[in-house]
Structure 1
Amino acid sequence: MPELPEVEVSRQGISPYLDNQRLVKVVARQRQLRWWVPDEVIAQLDQPILSVTRRAKYLLIQLPAGDIILHLGMSGHLKVVPADTPATKHDHIDLLLSSGKVLRLNDTRRFGAVLWQAKGEVHPLLASLGPEPLSDRFNLAHLQAAFAKRNSAVKLVLMDNHVVVGVGNIYANEALFKAGILPTKPAKQVTDTQLARLLPVIKETLTAAIKQGGTTLKDFSQADGKPGYFAQQLLVYGRGGQPCVSCGKDLTEIRLGQRSTVFCASCQQ
């Protein structure tokens, strides 16, 4: 599944094509994605696009009446193509632009979503999300409060969208390694000193991933079709059994919360 950096890279990739454009119409070849594409989305005709923003892993195309919410799911990706480009098998949703181009959602597994958020309202999927990891709201005091009474493994708490959004599996593995924190350690046992190391590492890791174009995942490509390059710099994720870059000992790989978790039992405490 694309993580926050990949979604942000997608936002940056499509924004130049949507800025100062009008949404002419929405074409839905398949409305049954993860959820049914609501009528309000289909009803948006000849509307100015005000901006393209992101909340967690959701993209929001802002219109006068509200926002079209896009989620890429497990395998979805966006591309901008000329309007006369023939649709392929899994090209489910087209947003026809006044420029004569189309923002097209391709989703092989149909776990993505196209939803509607009316102006002045907050969609239920967005209502209880925690702070953005690159915002000032995600600070040491917030981490201390979130971790104080949690018995769950620190990695699972970091991946809890009520605590902070967008720190998915890949980047939780990486940040905890850089901060020297064992991913299985109960969150309430993480010291303030460790939290003070962890906070900037999370921000730096995500920022670097965004800058370098997002991590290369099997089902992910940028709007221009180019893959991300951050995978070249992954220190632990996907490297179970290989030597630690710091101490040379073999990295351990386990399943935690049904997700692959890789760490160095020597370097992480």
Structure 2
Amino acid sequence: MTGTLRVSDKVISLKHDHIIFGINDGKFLIYNDPRRFGLIKILNKGDEFYLIDNNGPDPFEKHVDAEFLFQKIKNRKTNVKAILLNNKIISGIGNIYASEILFDSKISPKKLANRLTVNQCQKIIKSSKKVLNKAIKAGGTTLKDYFNAESRPGYFKNKLNVYGRDGESCKVCKSKIKHIVQNNRSTYFCSTCQKS
């Protein structure tokens, strides 16, 4: 998705700036969204918001473990990649990170969710935390136009193992990275490393 929040010392209006907030330290928080996919809604503490009321927990919440994931997916006959992108099950995993998480956990994106074992669910949860933590430390992933609030790109792109690397050699086994489309989303994987 596109759209950014940036912090600035002064108001310099750019094309597609939609909202400018003055913040306590004399700086400004500016919301820019060229495609107008975003939404800003001001809520009071404790208010519910219909767009996120049905979201599942994020992978960092304490109760999100192998058993939690296994119970959520044991009867689902969809591929595991679609499960990772389903915010009603687990929130906060985007398409890039789903491919990277499955590579790290050595699980094929084609595997059906109802065929995952508890041990494989444990690998997915562990890899989710590992990959997302690395991405956060790198400032996110800039492929085209992502920038953080300080207008800096994310550098996790330099650490991607499979995403966007179709036809390149796997960093682990040197097999070629493959690209498929699942549920209208690009998926990248190594069929040698991700056999299960």
What TM-score results when the alignment is normalised by the length of structure 2? Answer: 0.94
Q: Distance in 2 between matches of 1:82 and 1:263?
A: 43
Which 4+ runs in 1 deviate beyond 3 A? none
Q: Deviations over 1:105-132 (max 9, x none)?
A: 1111111111133443211011111011
Q: Distance in 2 between matches of 1:163 and 1:216?
A: 26
Q: Distance in 2 between matches of 1:159 and 1:137?
A: 19
Structure ID, larger Rg: 1
Query: What percent identity do the matched residue pairs reach?
Result: 40
Q: Distance in 1 between matches of 2:61 and 2:45?
A: 23
Q: Distance in 2 between matches of 1:104 and 1:208?
A: 26
> Letter of the aligned partner of 2:129 in structure 1?
K
Alignment coverage as a number of residue pairs: 195
> Letter of the aligned partner of 2:115 in structure 1?
Q
Is 1:156 paired with 2:82?
Answer: yes
**Secondary structure of 1:115's aligned partner:** coil
Q: Distance in 2 between matches of 1:210 and 1:144?
A: 26
What's the counterpart of residue 133 of structure 2? 207
CA RMSD of aligned residues (A): 1.4
Q: Distance in 1 between matches of 2:47 and 2:150?
A: 32
Q: Distance in 1 between matches of 2:13 and 2:133?
A: 34
Is 1:167 paired with 2:112?
Answer: no
Task: Answer 1 or 2: which has greater strand percent.
Answer: 1
What's the counterpart of residue 233 of structure 1? 159
Equivalent of residue 183 in structure 2, options 254, 257, 264: 257
Question: Structure 2 matches for 1:61-76, cutoff 5 A?
Answer: 75-76=2-3
Contact 2:65 2:122 in 1 (8 A): no
Is 1:188 paired with 2:114?
Answer: yes
Question: Structure 2 matches for 1:1-269, cutoff 5 A?
Answer: 1=1, 75-83=2-10, 85-268=11-194, 269=196
Q: Deviations over 1:119-170 (max 9, x none)?
A: 4321101111101111112111111101110000001011100110011111
> Letter of the aligned partner of 1:201 in structure 2?
S
> Letter of the aligned partner of 1:218 in structure 2?
K
Structure 2: 5+ residue stretches without partners = none
Q: Distance in 2 between matches of 1:105 and 1:217?
A: 20
Q: Distance in 2 between matches of 1:152 and 1:198?
A: 16
What TM-score results when the alignment is normalised by the length of structure 1? Answer: 0.69
Q: Deviations over 1:234-265 (max 9, x none)?
A: 00000011111222111110101111101111
Q: Deviations over 1:174-204 (max 9, x none)?
A: 1101111110111010122222222111111
